[in-house]
Structure 1
Amino acid sequence: MYRHHALWAIITALSIPASASVVPRQAPACDAPPASYAAVTEPGLPDPWKFVSGKAVATAEDFACRQAEMSRIMQQFELGDLPPPPDSLTATLSGTSMSLVIKVGSNSKTISVSITKPSSPGTSGGPAMIGVGGANIPVPSGMGRINFGNDACAAQQNPNSHGSGWFFDLHGKSHSAGATLAWAWCVGRIIDGLEQLGAAKTGIDPKRLGVTGCSRNGKGAFMVGAFEKRIALTIPQESGSGGAASWRVSDSEYAKGKNIQRAAQIVRENAWFSPRFVTYVNKTDTIPEDHHFLAALVAPRGLFVIENDIDWLGPVSTTVAMKAGRMIYEALGVKANMGFSLVGGHSHCSFPSASSADLTSYINRFLGGSATATNDVEKSKATVVIDDWIKSWSAAPKGINLAA
């Protein structure tokens, strides 16, 4: 059967970046998870280095298990449940159109995906960028492209959109997943199709896939990278609250008079998050997670986060959360695998030319097969005191080096 063990929905393996791909490690044996996780009282960013049980993260295997726990917690409190892969999937290719026949239980959907093949794929295929609703970054000419129609997968017109789209046709209208997590599942099916067809037909190497999107679709791109482990490089652009920003810090900025998107507003705007999240949007300090956990879930794979200095997007909030994310990468021995760039001074979703060299370094490293290290990028126009938000963190583990 095509359906994997339930652990797939948690985490199947810890992966390390190689010169041109992501190499899987054997999945660790983790302690059995509890049935659910309790709310907390935590004004700062929750500790990535300590399990809910109180156990400290000390080894690479521990971190993989902590990633699994972070994934479950985020699903429980704000995202909804990530289903396992479907019971069956059959892929065919006609010209530049890939057709997927997907079956979950008694439900079946046929999906078409537009593919632009790399210009020089070679025998093993070339890299490709998946655009969540399109791409606003300058994708290198000659690179393959896959246009993911995320609205068709899970609609995002308004809060009442929940339950609309082919994800819900397969899993049921009342499924708990918000649109952004549903998109991650749907992208996984595209990757299934690429793997099934093979590089000789598609021209695409499924081990060299990037994902990007801007604004609302940037939130989705971050979710795709965090929950779909076959993505080699994640590039969320101006994702703001619900993406690169911290719920807690956004609430703090709002209390200071900033015009910033926060949890209590976002659930009234659209169906990006699970209906479960409504319970917590006015008390985000009670959820045992925040969005630095998204960076932790992408680690140690490539992650380049592009933000802006527009108040609504939360420049202080994104800077705090992504500084915390880079601290996690650094403790894992792969600091340069994650970059954060907030140069500002440009319109929303307009890619800043000042970030071109940094973006190119990440694309070359994780998609282009270059052995050259990425630029060590941490740029922000926002001034923050990160220690104010990580006071409760345990000491980072010593001796973990996922680059080894």
Structure 2
Amino acid sequence: MKYSIVLPFLATTVLSAPLVQERQADCTVPTSFPTTANSKLPNPFVFFNGNKVATQADWTCKQKEIAAALLSQELGDLPAKPSTVTGTLSGSTLTINVSQGGKSISFTASIKKPSGTGPHPAIIAYGGASLPVPATVGTITLDNGAIAVQNDKGSRGKGKFFDLYGSGHSAGALIAWSWAVSRIIDVLETVDTGIDPKRIGVTGCSRNGKGAMIAGAFEPRVALTLPQESGSGGAACWRISDSEKAAGKNIQTASQIVTENVWFSPNFQAFSSKANTLATDHHELAALVAPRGLMAFENNIDWLGPVSTAGCMKTARAIYKAVGVPDNMGYSMIGGHNHCSFPSGQQPELTAFINKFLLNQSSANTAGIERSTATVDITKYIDWTFPTIA
């Protein structure tokens, strides 16, 4: 029996489970995933069938396996590129037109370009950028709430994405927004906008920070991912958040987040009270961005889970190191400021990553950017070691 699954990285044919066991090098992807309870973070260097990740080719296959599990258990289906995607630019307004299966939608994004001759790099900002975008980089503002509404639990199935794919589609808002980012880049590749589609970043804060993290993980054309104060559902790991909650911290967990809004798929409800049975966790979500640039900014606010985000992103940085790109990911937490304000102390870190990944400055120093006001020993959360991938 053969069947197909659409992943963010490619469309591929999935073979039956016995062949997955025998032919891991074929990059086959399972359609069912482990649900064995484990309070430790899952090992990203072992396939679900028990085979070890030993080479870069294996790692690419493992990323596809992680992506499939996240879509199945947490996020919902991510549709492939629609049959028709066109766009126009009028003034600063970019209009994206999409058709699929006899239905059509349009949505817009506003573009603010740097002065001078392009094409320029740009950052797609959910709802507008809350971190400072330099004058040399454009800003593309996306009204992500129009793509998938995120008012409350009653928002399920509302927005332009669901107008196209149906109100019963399994996608949560986060993956629907990621789909919209992909369609913007589709248009940037075909319409002369003055923006370079090979130098695109994505950012957002809080709930929109969760969205930025998902978009960077699932759209390989994003060069730099800049989630800000994304907390649980973003830079935090579900398992560490649960352990912090059990220790008496006022922290958002999976069991709470599903009662608040529709960011995740209805499929996630089955795991919300037992996140330790998920096949993956968010250290692996961050690892989907590798080898591209990822700089996660957090705030020392209990609800965001400072220990959870620090432990999760510290683990993700070690994964980046294991796969040979240690300087392509950073993590920074500074407390003492309002939620979604950007402290000046984090400016050098932001500047370094923008210079390297969007402005192509090879001299930009992104090495060893890892700081946190929460002290975390990741060996508390893992029962495996980090290999060096050949």
Give deviations 1:170-203, integer Å, cap 9, x for gaps: 1110110110111000110010011011xxx211
Structure 2 Cα separation of the partners of residues 395 and 258 of structure 1: 29
Quote the residue 1:376 is aligned against.
368
Worse-superposed segment, 212-221 or 28-37: 28-37
Quote the residue 1:241 is aligned against.
232
Checking the alignment, whether the CA contact within 8 Å between 2:241 and 2:305 is kept in structure 1 is yes
Structure 2 Cα separation of the partners of residues 8 and 195 of structure 1: 22
Cα offset for 1:113? 1.9
Quote the residue 1:179 is aligned against.
173
Cα offset for 1:8? 5.4
2:95 aligned with 1:99? yes
Structure 2 Cα separation of the partners of residues 10 and 51 of structure 1: 18
Structure 2 Cα separation of the partners of residues 148 and 115 of structure 1: 9
Cα offset for 1:108? 0.4
- Aligned alpha-carbon RMSD (Å): 1.6
2:222 aligned with 1:259? no
Work out the number of aligned pairs and report it: 375
Structure 2 Cα separation of the partners of residues 80 and 185 of structure 1: 12
Structure 2 Cα separation of the partners of residues 396 and 268 of structure 1: 38
Q: Show the 5 A alignment for 1:319-338.
A: 319-338=310-329
Give deviations 1:61-104, integer Å, cap 9, x for gaps: 11111000000000111111111110111112212112221011
Quote the residue 2:211 is aligned against.
220
Name the amino acid aligned to 1:69.
Answer: E
Ranges in structure 2 where 5+ consecutive residues have no aligned partner? 12-23
Quote the residue 2:356 is aligned against.
365
Structure 1 Cα separation of the partners of residues 137 and 314 of structure 2: 30
Quote the residue 2:17 is aligned against.
none
Distance of aligned partners of 1:258 and 1:230 in 2 relative to their CA distance in 1, 3 Å threshold? same
Instruction: Choose from 310, 317, 324 the match for 2:301.
Output: 310
TM-score by length of 1: 0.90
Give deviations 1:211-250, integer Å, cap 9, x for gaps: 1100010000000100111000000000000000011111
SS of the residue aligned with 2:199?
strand
Cα offset for 1:33? 2.3
Checking the alignment, whether the CA contact within 8 Å between 1:42 and 1:288 is kept in structure 2 is no
Checking the alignment, whether the CA contact within 8 Å between 2:8 and 2:219 is kept in structure 1 is no
Give deviations 1:35-73, integer Å, cap 9, x for gaps: 311311211100000100111111111111100000000
Quote the residue 2:21 is aligned against.
none
Cα offset for 1:143? 1.7
Name the amino acid aligned to 1:272.
Answer: W
Distance of aligned partners of 1:327 and 1:259 in 2 relative to their CA distance in 1, 3 Å threshold? same
Structure 2 Cα separation of the partners of residues 349 and 303 of structure 1: 18
Checking the alignment, whether the CA contact within 8 Å between 1:128 and 1:145 is kept in structure 2 is yes
Ranges in structure 1 where 5+ consecutive residues have no aligned partner? 14-27, 400-404
Checking the alignment, whether the CA contact within 8 Å between 2:202 and 2:222 is kept in structure 1 is yes
2:157 aligned with 1:159? no
Quote the residue 2:124 is aligned against.
130
Structure 2 Cα separation of the partners of residues 108 and 29 of structure 1: 39
Cα offset for 1:344? 1.2
Structure 2 Cα separation of the partners of residues 49 and 84 of structure 1: 27
SS of the residue aligned with 1:298?
coil
Structure 2 Cα separation of the partners of residues 328 and 375 of structure 1: 15
Structure 1 Cα separation of the partners of residues 330 and 5 of structure 2: 29
Structure 1 Cα separation of the partners of residues 387 and 117 of structure 2: 41
Name the amino acid aligned to 2:252.
Answer: Q
Structure 1 Cα separation of the partners of residues 8 and 47 of structure 2: 15
Structure 2 Cα separation of the partners of residues 368 and 32 of structure 1: 36
Checking the alignment, whether the CA contact within 8 Å between 2:8 and 2:220 is kept in structure 1 is no
Structure 1 Cα separation of the partners of residues 51 and 88 of structure 2: 47
Cα offset for 1:375? 4.2
SS of the residue aligned with 2:231?
coil
Quote the residue 1:22 is aligned against.
none
TM-score by length of 2: 0.93
Quote the residue 1:47 is aligned against.
43
2:353 aligned with 1:355? no
Name the amino acid aligned to 2:9.
Answer: I
Name the amino acid aligned to 1:385.
Answer: D
Structure 1 Cα separation of the partners of residues 299 and 194 of structure 2: 35
Structure 1 Cα separation of the partners of residues 255 and 217 of structure 2: 23
Checking the alignment, whether the CA contact within 8 Å between 1:307 and 1:342 is kept in structure 2 is yes
Identity of aligned residues (%): 52
Cα offset for 1:306? 0.2
Checking the alignment, whether the CA contact within 8 Å between 2:318 and 2:386 is kept in structure 1 is no
Quote the residue 2:139 is aligned against.
145
Name the amino acid aligned to 2:342.
Answer: F
Structure 2 Cα separation of the partners of residues 179 and 121 of structure 1: 36
Checking the alignment, whether the CA contact within 8 Å between 1:10 and 1:69 is kept in structure 2 is no
Structure 2 Cα separation of the partners of residues 280 and 398 of structure 1: 31
Q: Give every structure 1 segment of 4 or more consecutive aligned residues whose post-TM-superposition deviation is greater than 3 Å.
A: 5-8, 28-31
